[in-house]
Structure formats: structure tokens, C-alpha cells
Amino acid sequence: MLGGHLRIGNVAVERGADTDVASPGYAAWVNGVWEGFYHYKPASDGQLEQMLQSHQADERVLTAVWDDSRPRDLVDPLVPVATYGTFAKTLNIGAAVVPAHLVTSVTVRPTHRRRGILRELMSADLSRAKQAGYPVAALTASEATIYGRFGFGRVTETQTLHLDVRGDVRFHAPATGSMVQLAPGKLAGIANGVFERFHSTRRGSVGRQEAYLRHATGAWGEEGPEPEPKLRAAVYLDGSGEIQGYVTYVFGGWDPKPITLKVRDLVAATEVARREIFRFLASFDLIESVSCPFAAANDPLPWALENPARVGFSEREHGLWVRVLDVPAAFDAREYRGTGSFTLAVTDPLGLADGRYGLEIRDGRATVTALAEASPADATCDVVALAPLLLGSCDTAGLIAAGLLEPSSHTSVAALAALLDLPGVPHAINGF
Ligand SMILES: CC(=O)SCCNC(=O)CCNC(=O)[C@H](O)C(C)(C)COP(=O)(O)OP(=O)(O)OC[C@H]1O[C@@H](n2cnc3c(N)ncnc32)[C@H](O)[C@@H]1OP(=O)(O)O
């Protein structure tokens, strides 16, 4: 419980009574978030309306903390000292796509930091999410060191891909299908469907908030909810004319060098579509480089090219963080290999996921049950390690070497690895 003059409450995503503009409380919450992330320009009525529409589409739950001790002649009491937002999407765990409780817009003002406001907001929220039946919570973090203490583990890494497109870029595979350049607005009826196909097949993918569609269509730009006239778009059609991917991009200007085409969003339902979109991006005259964010840690593009040295990567970052709330529900949705069984003991300082769990695996699918405390465990881990274990972000040997997973003295690590280790890495192509 927060003490003193601090008060926690929800903020409705609504227009003001008898007005067609955002309510003062909602406007104060949005501006609180913007200020927390150093967007030092209050949102205009038009921007607030855009935010409100997208937050309503996401069915966001907004929480704020107010400090009633601040002098009212100096600051509007509606202005929060902390913000916290959540919404429901899904996470692809490999064998199934499960509901995910997404956390975003976490800010605490410098005047109120390190007093336990984040801890209070997050502990209560994660308990509620577990009670509501979410197997997992997820977030994308500003700093890697904040969320481990709440049981979040890093599951994906992303990086920015740079493709040198000077001269003739040659691919091993022959070209297939076709690209069509179109006005970004045309993606309104296309982008979500392509993303859903990617999302349903890619382990680690997390559902997208409404803002992504607004960005894809150019209704929103880099600076937020304002039109982006520079945006260009194209779609990839396979041999039968079906749209299998799209890309949005902007010209980075004649300076600085190299002259760069900057991908804003690239979503491909198939690996062929992704490769063909890069073939298209490599074909622009006068352009020297193409940059593309949210590339996977094991991006296959260098393997597609006759000269893999054309591809470089920068800004390798932690991407998605996942918090397991319900071990049986989450691990039932995981992929495994072969047939076998083992018992996992989990410790969790927040008391949400701790216990002993039996995993009965048959032909790559598991039935997971909570066991009595006294059951002997084949391996032990903290809740933080559950996330990379769940998503197959790191193999069993790597988790053991990192000190995140501890096999018991009688456990065959090779047998455990034969059940748990998965090919490839999870990949999420969005932030929130
Ligand atoms: C999902 C997202 O929205 S990610 C974006 C997070 N927001 C930002 O980065 C905006 C700028 N920063 C902030 O607003 C705040 O400093 C916050 C939200 C990061 C932290 O809020 P606070 O209320 O100060 O945190 P609180 O006092 O509850 O601290 C909780 C714990 O986190 C730790 N912690 C807080 N901030 C940080 C940090 N930046 N780095 C490392 N640890 C941190 C505290 O030491 C404390 O640890 P303990 O409980 O184990 O002793």
C-alpha cells in the first residue's frame, strides 16, 4: 500500500462530458506518459483524439497515482505522478497462441521515484492478471535491469539489419511472385491479416496494438499520432496472387551517407515473402543502404545472398520480456521434442508461479500438472528462467551454464535437452 498523500486509481479512456475532445483526466494521463518518455510537447486535441481511439480499440486499462499533497495553485491535481497501462493480446508460445497480459506506459516522476510506486503497481497488477486467468504477462523494457525482480525474463533479441545495396545485389534463389507499390492507406484492409498469419506461426510473436495499423497506413508517424506523408508501402504477392507480406519505408534523405531507405515495418507471412521484399528493397536506384528494425537474432538474410558481407547488424537489444503467471497453462502451450517426463521446481519471490510441476511429454506435446511440495525435482529454476525456458530462447545447456537452471544430481542433462531444446529462436517484431 502506498502511504501518505499518494492515491491509486483508474483513468477512463473517454471524451469529456458533453464534449467531443478527450476528458481532462485522460489528457493528463497521456501527457504524463509523454513527459515520462521525454516527449516534452503536450498532446494537441487532435493527437489526444487519435490516442483515445487507439486506446479504446485496445481496450486499455489505465492506472495512475496522484499526490494530493501538491499545492493546487502550482499543479493541476489531475496530473499524475505515475502512470501504468495494460491491455490484453496474445503470445505465440510455439504449440499454441495464449492470452497475454501486456504492460506498458510505466512512468514515475523523478520527484516520486524509488519510493516503491512501481513495485506497488506491478505487484498488484500481476496478481490480478493471474487471478483473471492469464498464463503470462509481457512487456518491452526501457532498461534491462528493472523487471527481473518482478519475475520477467528476456525471451527475444532484436537488431537493426543494414543491407548494402550498391551495385547488383544477387540472391541464391531465383525471384518468385511480384511486388506492388501502393498508397499506405491501402494497407488498412491488409496489414492486420498479414500480421495475424505471421503471429500464428512464429514462436515468440506478441499481438499488435491498434497503433501499428495506424502507423502502417501513414495515419501516424515517427513523432506519434500525426500523419506521415513521407511513408511509402509495397506488398508481396505469391505466384497465385495472394498477398503474403508488406513493407512500409521512408527515404532517409540525401544526407547523411550512405543514402538510406529506412524500413518502418516489414511483416511477412512466409520466409519467401520476406526474402522477396528484401529483393525489392535492394532494387532502388540511387539508394546505397537499406535499414530494417526488429530483425531476429538469427536473421537468415546473409544466407540468401551471394555476398553475405552486404548484411550488417547494429543496435542488438533485448526485445520481449515474459512473466510466467500460470505454469501448467503456459507450459501446456509449449513445443517439446519426443516423449518423456520430468519434474520442475520453481521459486518465485512474488508467490505467483512457485511450486513443483510434473511435465508428461508425448510426441512433442506436454501435459503439465502441479505436484505436492515434497515431490523430488529433476531440475530447479527461479521464475525469471521460466520465460526463456518456455519460449526456447536458450538451450538447456546454455541455461545450466548461465546458472539459471539447476539439474539435480540424478538428472541426465542430455535427456532433459532432448525434450526441451528447440530449433531456431523466438522472434517478436513489435514493441509496446
Ligand atoms: C514497460 C515499460 O513501460 S518500460 C518503461 C519504464 N519507464 C521508464 O523507463 C521511464 C523512466 N523511469 C521511471 O519512470 C521510473 O524510474 C521507473 C518506472 C523505472 C521506476 O519506478 P519507481 O517507482 O522509482 O520504482 P520502485 O521505487 O518501485 O522500485 C522498484 C524496484 O525497481 C528498482 N528500480 C527502479 N528503477 C530502476 C532502474 N531504472 N534500473 C534498475 N532498477 C530499478 C528499484 O531499485 C526497486 O528495487 P527493489 O524493490 O528490489 O529494491
pLDDT of 128:
98
Structural domains of the chain, count: 3
Assess whether 147 carries a catalytic annotation: yes
Q: Assess whether 238 and 378 both reside in one domain.
A: no
Residue 233's pLDDT band (cuts 50, 70, 90): very high
Residue 328's pLDDT band (cuts 50, 70, 90): very high
pLDDT of 373:
84
Residue 3's pLDDT band (cuts 50, 70, 90): confident
Q: Assess whether 109 and 190 both reside in one domain.
A: no
Q: Tell me which of 265, 290, 317 is where a domain ends.
A: 317
Q: Tell me which of 137, 154, 171 is where a domain ends.
A: 154
Q: Assess whether 176 and 162 both reside in one domain.
A: yes
CB contact at 8 A, 181 and 279: no
Q: Assess whether 187 and 269 both reside in one domain.
A: yes
pLDDT digits (tens, 9 = 90+) for 79-129: 999 999 999 999 999 999 999 999 999 999 999 999 999 999 999 999 999
Q: Assess whether 199 and 226 both reside in one domain.
A: yes
Q: Assess whether 162 and 301 both reside in one domain.
A: yes
Task: State which residues form the domain around 185.
Answer: 158-317
CATH at residue 380: 3.30.1050.10
Is residue 375's pLDDT more than 90? no
Ligand 1 mean position to 87 CA, how many Å? 20
Is residue 1's pLDDT more than 90? no
Task: Output the average pLDDT for the chain.
Answer: 96
**Is 117 marked as a binding-site residue?**
yes
Ligand 1 mean position to 290 CA, how many Å? 35
pLDDT of 278:
98
Q: Is the dihedral of CA 369, 372, 378, 379 positive or negative?
A: positive
pLDDT of 142:
86
Mutate which of 33, 105, 119 for ligand 1 pocket (most atoms within 8 A of beta carbon): 119
Asked whether residue 59 is domain-assigned, the answer is yes
CATH at residue 15: 3.40.630.30
User: Using alpha carbons only, how large is the chain's radius of gyration in Å?
Assistant: 23
Q: Assess whether 142 and 91 both reside in one domain.
A: yes
pLDDT of 18:
87
**Is 351 marked as a binding-site residue?**
no
pLDDT of 40:
77
Look up residue 406 and give its three cell numbers.
539447476
Mutual angle of helices 45-58 and 24-36, in 10-degree steps: 90
Ligand 1 mean position to 146 CA, how many Å? 6
Q: Which atom of ligand 1 is nearest to the CA of 103?
A: 1
pLDDT digits (tens, 9 = 90+) for 125-152: 999 999 999 999 999 998 888 999 999 9
pLDDT digits (tens, 9 = 90+) for 50-59: 999 999 999 9
Asked whether residue 87 is domain-assigned, the answer is yes
Q: Assess whether 313 and 177 both reside in one domain.
A: yes
Ligand 1 mean position to 11 CA, how many Å? 21
Report the phi/psi class of residue 367: left, alpha or beta, with left for phi > 0 and alpha for psi in -120 to 50: beta
Q: Out of 134, 147, 152, 342, pick the active-site residue.
A: 147
CB contact at 8 A, 225 and 57: no
Q: Which atom of ligand 1 is nearest to the CA of 37?
A: 10
Assess whether 432 carries a catalytic annotation: yes
Q: Out of 84, 246, 280, 432, pick the active-site residue.
A: 432
Q: Assess whether 280 and 336 both reside in one domain.
A: no
Q: Assess whether 279 and 414 both reside in one domain.
A: no
Complete edge-to-edge strand list for the sheet that includes strand 157-164? 178-182, 232-237, 243-251, 260-268, 289-296, 157-164, 311-318
**Is 156 marked as a binding-site residue?**
no
Asked whether residue 261 is domain-assigned, the answer is yes
Ligand 1 mean position to 113 CA, how many Å? 7
Asked whether residue 226 is domain-assigned, the answer is yes
355: nearest Cα among 363, 368, 345: 345
Q: Which residues pair with 345 in a beta bridge?
A: 356, 380
Section 229-256 average pLDDT: 97
pLDDT of 291:
98
pLDDT of 286:
96
pLDDT of 113:
94
What share of residues in the chain are helix, strand, coil (percent, to 5)?
Answer: 25, 30, 40
**Is 114 marked as a binding-site residue?**
yes
Q: Assess whether 179 and 195 both reside in one domain.
A: yes
Q: Tell me which of 273, 298, 317 is where a domain ends.
A: 317
Residue 4's pLDDT band (cuts 50, 70, 90): confident
Residues with CB under 6 A from ligand 1: 36, 103-108, 113-119, 139, 141-143, 145-146, 149
Is residue 179's pLDDT more than 90? yes
Asked whether residue 425 is domain-assigned, the answer is no
Is residue 189's pLDDT more than 90? yes
Q: Assess whether 294 and 344 both reside in one domain.
A: no
